[in-house]
């Protein structure tokens, strides 16, 4: 794809910042995003930055504004399908200050948005705090999980959140309690989640270990291994999307190395060298299949970035 001149100017200004020693070894140009998504697909990002504090974040956000380019915050890339063309602009992974967890009360924790769910669960276990076990082994970060109100086994992130700190589009850091619904939060797309406060339940190591074991077993028995992005579609109209996809014969579908899992029809697996386009075409086929046979319009749960046509 032809780069526009704004991107070139942005890249030049960022390269000049590098010479001042800021972002030491944490800025990359033309970084293949397939290295950063669980599907293992996605073209290059003009700039990929690992950001460790709010000052660095503001530098990049202000440069993006100056050159009218996009910013995409990614976590572990587990709910994400990025096109083979990649991303024109800056992709940011929040780390450093945003990878910390702090006990703020007997049952409250303040967690950076770049913290992995398993790290949070492990911190909670050590402090005998229960609640988050439902999310064990979901390969995501707190930021991504809160934005999408990730959930499993009757629980969701929102059951334990007391407030969220974001950076808004005016560069103000604000704290509030968003509204949450099934796989939805009212956190705006132009707000960057920084920290999340959770209220957990006092428990015992024995009880927490038991919960974790049970969830792991359930997940293993019902969900496939392999390179996926979790469930592709949201459940809707009181139906499980996986069940609908299965009943309409989607498990037979594949495009190149992108295949619908035999174990769970709401999972697409990259079985080798699938391209983002293979996966995208397969998502369309699954959606069409359910619409043609059941007249239900499934809504995608995964975040799809950089495709020109509508699903």
Q: Which residue is nearest to ligand EPU (CB)?
A: 230
CA–CA gap between residue 95 and residue 53 (Å, rounded): 8
Q: Are strands 27-32 and 44-51 parallel, antiparallel or unpaired?
A: antiparallel
51 bridge partner residues: 94
Residue 204 CB partners (closer than 8 Å, separation 6+): 128
Q: Is 301 a catalytic residue?
A: yes
Shortest separation between residue 127's beta carbon and ligand EPU, angstroms: 25
In this chain, which stretch among 166-174, 184-192, 237-245, 290-298 interacts with ligand EPU, using CB under 6 A?
Answer: 237-245
Q: Is 254 a catalytic residue?
A: no
Of residues 122 and 240, the one with the C-beta less far from ligand EPU = 240
Of residues 70 and 246, the one with the C-beta less far from ligand EPU = 246
Shortest separation between residue 299's beta carbon and ligand EPU, angstroms: 10
CA–CA gap between residue 161 and residue 152 (Å, rounded): 16
CA–CA gap between residue 12 and residue 49 (Å, rounded): 15
The active-site residue out of 183, 219, 247, 254 is 183
In this chain, which stretch among 10-18, 41-49, 112-120, 242-250 interacts with ligand EPU, using CB under 6 A?
Answer: 242-250
Query: Which one of 210, 225, 243, 252 is in contact with ligand EPU (CB under 6 A)?
Result: 243
Query: Which one of 264, 275, 276, 279 is in contact with ligand EPU (CB under 6 A)?
Result: 264
* Radius of gyration of the chain measured on its C-alpha atoms: 20
**Binding of ligand EPU by 222 (CB under 6 A):** yes
Q: Are strands 87-94 and 44-51 parallel, antiparallel or unpaired?
A: parallel
Q: Is 183 a catalytic residue?
A: yes
Cβ atoms of 46 and 1 closer than 8 Å: no
> Which helix (H) or strand (E) is 194 found in, with range?
strand 192-199
Of residues 96 and 224, the one with the C-beta less far from ligand EPU = 224
Q: Residues for the chain: how many in total?
A: 311
**Binding of ligand EPU by 303 (CB under 6 A):** no
Query: Which one of 266, 270, 275, 289 is in contact with ligand EPU (CB under 6 A)?
Result: 266
CA–CA gap between residue 176 and residue 165 (Å, rounded): 7
Site string for ligand EPU, 130-169 (x = CB under 6 A): ----------------------xx----------------
Of residues 97 and 247, the one with the C-beta less far from ligand EPU = 247
CA–CA gap between residue 261 and residue 222 (Å, rounded): 11
Using CB atoms within 10 Å of the CB of residue 9, give its burial: 0 to 12 exposed, 13 to 18 middle, 19+ buried.
Answer: middle
Query: Which one of 211, 235, 248, 270 is in contact with ligand EPU (CB under 6 A)?
Result: 235
Q: Which residue, 307, 308, 288, is CA-closest to 298?
A: 288
**Binding of ligand EPU by 246 (CB under 6 A):** yes
Task: Give the interface with ligand EPU as residue ranges (CB under 6 A).
Answer: 152-153, 222, 230-231, 234-235, 240-243, 246, 264-266, 301
């Amino acid at each position: 794809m032809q780069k526009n001149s704004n991107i070139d100017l942005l890249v030049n200004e960022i390269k000049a910042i590098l010479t001042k020693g800021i972002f030491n070894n944490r800025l990359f140009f033309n970084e293949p995003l397939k290295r950063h998504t669980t599907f293992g697909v996605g073209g290059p990002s003009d700039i990929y930055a690992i950001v460790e504090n709010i000052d660095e974040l503001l530098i990049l956000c202000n440069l993006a504004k100056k050159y009218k380019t996009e910013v995409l915050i990614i976590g572990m890339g587990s709910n994400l399908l990025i096109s083979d063309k990649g991303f024109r602009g800056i992709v940011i992974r929040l780390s450093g200050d945003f990878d910390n967890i702090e006990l703020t009360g007997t049952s409250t924790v303040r967690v950076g948005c770049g913290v992995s769910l398993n790290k949070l669960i492990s911190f909670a276990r050590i402090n005998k705090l229960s609640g988050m076990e439902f999310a064990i082994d979901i390969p995501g970060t707190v930021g991504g999980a809160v934005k999408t109100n990730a959930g499993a086994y009757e629980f969701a992130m929102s059951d334990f959140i007391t407030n969220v700190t974001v950076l808004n589009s005016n560069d103000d850091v604000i704290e509030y309690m968003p509204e949450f619904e099934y796989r939805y939060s009212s956190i705006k797309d132009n707000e960057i989640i920084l920290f999340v406060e959770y209220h957990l339940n006092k428990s015992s190591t024995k009880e927490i270990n038991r919960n974790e074991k049970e969830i792991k077993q359930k997940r293993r028995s019902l969900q496939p291994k392999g390179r996926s992005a979790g469930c592709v579609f949201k459940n809707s109209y009181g139906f499980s999307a996986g069940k609908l996809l299965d009943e309409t014969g989607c498990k037979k579908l594949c495009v190149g190395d992108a295949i619908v899992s035999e174990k769970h029809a709401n999972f697409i697996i990259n079985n080798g060298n699938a391209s983002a386009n293979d996966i995208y075409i397969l998502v369309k086929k699954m959606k069409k299949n359910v619409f043609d046979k059941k007249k239900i319009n499934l809504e995608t749960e995964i975040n799809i970035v950089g495709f020109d046509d509508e699903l």
